[in-house]
Chain A
Amino acid sequence: AQTVTQSQPEMSVQEAETVTLSCTYDTSENNYYLFWYKQPPSRQMILVIRQEAYKQQNATENRFSVNFQKAAKSFSLKISDSQLGDTAMYFCAFMKLIQGAQKLVFGQGTRLTINP
């Protein structure tokens, strides 16, 4: 069974600092997608960044970047120049096909607090 593990339940950094959130996953598949989602108090899941497993280049989106290590099944998220608005729950997710549907398997989440 595919699983996603986020080993850091909570993290806290000062504004403008860089922070890295960890994620490991377990799968026997070779082609898949990995995601980081942000869930602020508004509850809506917001896509932060996506990585296709067949791409060796790490994805980047402005201040957000990933370190994708396929052999180690590791997918960490780095947030540079952190801002107060980055405060939220962050979920790592793996996408798999189940009976033709695309299912997201989420980790337990990391609560990130950016302090002024």
Chain B
Amino acid sequence: ETGVTQSPTHLIKTRGQQVTLRCSSQSGHNTVSWYQQALGQGPQFIFQYYREEENGRGNFPPRFSGLQFPNYSSELNVNALELDDSALYLCASRTGGRYGYTFGSGTRLTVV
């Protein structure tokens, strides 16, 4: 297993800009979820993709969007960045039928 890899590890953006965060999952992991973890808090569910389709979403506005690709990679896109978007963004993936998610080490996004 190669694990779940996220890039970049750190990122600084200006309010109003757009950002794309990337995740590379293990082969066979057809389900990927994205979480936002504010400083000192537990992660919050953003959305989940299964076989390249979004199949669940948390309480996040439409400016948070995603894509999942056939090669088990995925993206989280955030438009019109706000200061409150500063957080650690975690990607988690698993194979179908298994309830154990494998998490990446996250991308630390700072919006100034």
Q: Judging by beta carbons under 8 Å apart, are B103 and A108 in contact?
A: no
* Chain A interface helix/strand/loop/mixed: strand
Q: Take A42-B105, A46-B103, A100-B56 as given contacts and tell me if A106 and B90 are in contact as well, using a CB distance cutoff of 8 Å.
A: no
Report the tally of A-B residue pairs with Cβ distances under 8 A.
71
Distance of A8 Cα from B44 Cα, bound (Å): 20
Q: Judging by beta carbons under 8 Å apart, are B45 and A104 in contact?
A: yes
* Chain B interface helix/strand/loop/mixed: strand
Interface size on B, residues (CB 8 A): 27
Q: Judging by beta carbons under 8 Å apart, are A43 and B33 in contact?
A: no
A47, A104, A106: most-surrounded residue (chain B CB, <10 A): A104
Q: Take A108-B41, A109-B42 as given contacts and tell me if A101 and B55 are in contact as well, using a CB distance cutoff of 8 Å.
A: yes
Chain A residues lying within 8 Å of B40, measured Cβ to Cβ, are: 108-109
